[in-house]
Amino acid sequence: MLPITSLKNPRVQEAVRLRDRRHREQQGWTLIDGARELRRALAAGVRLHEAFFCPVLCQGEDARYLLAALPECGCPAWEVSTAVFEKLAFGQRTEGVLGVAETPRRRLDELSVPADAMIAVLEGVEKPGNLGAVLRSADATGVAAVVVADGRTDLFNPNAIRASLGTIFSMPVCECTSGEALTWLDTRGFSIFAARVDGAVPYTDVDCRGPTAIVLGNEAQGLSDVWVGPKVQAVRLPMLGVADSLNLSVTAAVLFYEALRQRR
Amino acid sequence: MLPITSLKNPRVQEAVRLRDRRHREQQGWTLIDGARELRRALAAGVRLHEAFFCPVLCQGEDARYLLAALPECGCPAWEVSTAVFEKLAFGQRTEGVLGVAETPRRRLDELSVPADAMIAVLEGVEKPGNLGAVLRSADATGVAAVVVADGRTDLFNPNAIRASLGTIFSMPVCECTSGEALTWLDTRGFSIFAARVDGAVPYTDVDCRGPTAIVLGNEAQGLSDVWVGPKVQAVRLPMLGVADSLNLSVTAAVLFYEALRQRR
């Protein structure tokens, strides 16, 4: 079969439309751009609807692996010209492979985690890049699942996929309301630690060895009042300098790694 | 005095030229965009060469503070129209105040830190945003100075200033070679911990209570061989998931906060 060379090819145009959130949500599909991300998605069992590849751009190990693996994926894999690939790919990313995948969806009541798990809850996260960065740290620290509560971005936004380095596919992730998340955690006996700039207790003074939920708020407004009350302990990170806040992904990583230190 | 309304005004054009690194370095000046950043720079004693302000854009507390403080700064402060300010400001940032400042420069041999200080060394950092993010965490954790060794970006790049939230002005920062940094730390009896993906020892197993240097490498290549040998201990962060690396600013924050936990 000849490579697709026309930017007006309907398959290409349909894939490009998936850059639009509304279209992704209508279709239940997302774009997976980047060889490492696509490889991790396949390893995690994500179902591909179709794939595009441009052999001359496939330079890295992951891209070459995918070139060999795509024919076995049971979905159409379209060879495209460099110009078409550059239209499909995001920004500077031209790693030669791009997948259109069914968006994995998991409900809170489908979540299955060990009884003593560490869980992360992100409330009201707005920036896909922050979501992805938190997923990357969660992956590193043995977090069992990430709950996106009252999210303000779509979970499988291509920028979230990219910032997560593809860990968004291997990590159990689900969406719900903050109230649902709190009830779910509370009924399962989780210790719930909410990161707040004015938290009463330093984060190193709480015990994260049992079932532990670490709850992080929106980039600008922090956590809602759902996370105030006797079921939730507000913890703070020391801030010794002139600035009064830390980046969301930095706060998440420090809390996850402290919990891991205690749990090991 | 009437506000500057012409985009061709020589003062405006000269300030816009400072977006170019070469011009910043030739002049020894940088642009400080953002009200919080400019306020922190003034509080840290940075010398302003001149300032631009656009009263209708000065909405936040920091911007209003600066509107009142600028006449006392001993430098020309030019009122400009909204259109001119938008030309001067970076991207979406139109907080109404912008400063042209003398770039603070400090040499390693001018650095004065407590005998038991915690120091951060960043080798070969390429992205100004990463430098700024590390400075923000260093500020929060009581790091006494940040040494940029073999840097590949200019220290006072406007994006570094912005990502640091202005902490780049309050934190003692200096530039040198990696060899100079190693010698300086070694002769002062610092324990030197180098973050490496394949580090021999988990970062939580080393003692950071005395004089401590935390050394972080380039985003892509990691640390050079300068940081190999009997004077340096390679430490690693646990990586329990599918990904094999963490973001530079995340690694830095986790190490700084663990050192702070031990030191308190």
Task: Please judge whether B240 and A204 are an interchain contact, meaning their C-beta atoms are less than 8 angstroms apart.
Answer: no
Cα A92-A98-A101 angle, rounded to 5 deg: 130
Average pLDDT over residues B162-181: 96
Letter for the amino acid at B43? A
- Assigned architecture for domain B10-102: 2-Layer Sandwich (3.30)
Contact list, B258 vs chain A (CB under 8 Å): 257-258, 261
What's residue A78's pLDDT?
A: 95
Q: Which residues of A touch B (CB under 8 A)?
A: 40, 43, 133, 136-142, 165-167, 170-171, 204, 237-243, 246-247, 249-250, 253-254, 257-258, 260-261, 264
Q: How far is CA A31 from CA A167, A243, B175, in A?
A: 15, 37, 42
Lowest mean pLDDT among A70-74, B32-36, B259-263: A70-74
What's residue B240's pLDDT?
A: 97
CB count within 10 Å of CB B201 equals 12
Shortest CA gap B158–chain A (Å): 18
Residue A147 to residue A121: CA distance in whole angstroms: 5
Average pLDDT over residues A185-206: 97
> What fold does the segment set B108-263 form as a domain?
Alpha/beta knot (3.40.1280)
Task: Please judge whether B165 and A243 are an interchain contact, meaning their C-beta atoms are less than 8 angstroms apart.
Answer: yes
Predicted confidence (pLDDT) at residue A126 exceeds the cutoff of 90: yes
- The beta-carbon neighbor of B142 closest among A141, A240, A243 is A240
Q: What residue ranges do the domains of chain B occupy?
A: 10-102, 108-263
- The beta-carbon neighbor of A253 closest among B204, B242, B254 is B254
Helix (H) or strand (E) holding B20: none
Average pLDDT over residues B115-128: 96
Tokens of B112: 């004065």
A96: left (phi > 0), else alpha (psi -120 to 50), else beta? left
Q: What is the mean pLDDT of chain A?
A: 94
Lowest mean pLDDT among A131-145, A198-212, A243-257, B86-100: B86-100
Say if A10-102 and A108-263 have the same CATH topology.
Answer: no
CB count within 10 Å of CB A206 equals 17
Q: What are phi and psi of A121, to 5 degrees?
A: -120, 125
Closest-approach residue (CA) in chain A for B43 = A242
Lowest mean pLDDT among A2-6, A30-34, A93-97: A93-97
Predicted confidence (pLDDT) at residue B76 exceeds the cutoff of 90: yes
Predicted confidence (pLDDT) at residue A90 exceeds the cutoff of 80: no
Contact list, B142 vs chain A (CB under 8 Å): 240-241
Shortest CA gap B69–chain A (Å): 19
Taking alpha carbons only, the member of A253, A151, A243, A258 closest to residue A209 is A258
Shortest CA gap B106–chain A (Å): 20
Q: What are phi and psi of A182, to 5 degrees?
A: -60, -45
* Number of alpha carbons in the 13 Å side-chain half-sphere of residue B34: 20
B34: left (phi > 0), else alpha (psi -120 to 50), else beta? left
Asked if A24 and A15 touch (Cβ cutoff 8 Å), the reply is no
Task: Please judge whether B141 and A167 are an interchain contact, meaning their C-beta atoms are less than 8 angstroms apart.
Answer: no
**Would you say how long chain A is, in residues?**
264
Contact list, A146 vs chain B (CB under 8 Å): none
Which residue has tokens 């696509």? A38
Asked if B78 and B101 touch (Cβ cutoff 8 Å), the reply is no
Task: Please judge whether B140 and A258 are an interchain contact, meaning their C-beta atoms are less than 8 angstroms apart.
Answer: no
Lowest mean pLDDT among A168-182, B70-84, B87-101: B87-101
Task: Please judge whether B140 and A237 are an interchain contact, meaning their C-beta atoms are less than 8 angstroms apart.
Answer: yes
**Would you say how long chain B is, in residues?**
264
Taking alpha carbons only, the member of A123, A135, A138, A206 closest to residue B240 is A138
Asked if B120 and B213 touch (Cβ cutoff 8 Å), the reply is yes
Question: pTM (2 decimals)?
Answer: 0.94
Shortest CA gap B242–chain A (Å): 7
Cα A109-A113-A117 angle, rounded to 5 deg: 130
Task: Please judge whether B247 and A243 are an interchain contact, meaning their C-beta atoms are less than 8 angstroms apart.
Answer: no
pLDDT bin (cut points 50, 70, 90) of residue B182 is very high
Shortest CA gap B83–chain A (Å): 28
Cα A65-A69-A75 angle, rounded to 5 deg: 140
> With pLDDT > 70 as the criterion, what percentage of chain A qualifies?
99
What's residue B92's pLDDT?
A: 66
Interface confidence (ipTM) of the complex: 0.93
> With pLDDT > 90 as the criterion, what percentage of chain A qualifies?
89
pLDDT bin (cut points 50, 70, 90) of residue B91 is low
